[in-house]
Amino acid sequence: MARAPKERVEQAAAALLSPGERVTSTGSCWAVQVRPRVPLFFLARQKYMMALTDRRILVFARGRRKPEPADLVIGKRYESF
């Protein structure tokens, strides 16, 4: 049962992978969307599901249902960071 969230994130990420790209790890993370003129201290964190590939990071919004490709919040190559 503990592997179910990992498998769901891998399935959502599989639909977004480029040819030859592979998922190396998955997990959850906390993040906040920065807003102008609001200190980070006052913003609420949210939990997201994350998939790391050999080329980029994919972050999915969490919900009551399994993550889908439409739930992608961030999909950036490592070079852009």
Residue 3 pLDDT grade (very low, low, confident, very high; cuts 50, 70, 90): low
pLDDT digits (tens, 9 = 90+) for 32-73: 988 999 998 899 999 999 999 999 999 998 877 778 888 899
Which residues lie closer than 8 Å to 13 by C-beta, 6 or more apart? 23, 26, 51, 53, 58, 60
Is the model's pLDDT at 79 over the cut of 80? yes
pLDDT attached to residue 50: 94
pLDDT attached to residue 1: 46
Residue 8 pLDDT grade (very low, low, confident, very high; cuts 50, 70, 90): confident
3-state class of 14 per DSSP? Answer: helix
The answer to whether 74 touches 59, Cβ cutoff 8 Å, is yes
Is the model's pLDDT at 2 over the cut of 80? no
3-state class of 37 per DSSP? Answer: coil
Q: How many CB atoms lie within 10 A of CB 62?
A: 16
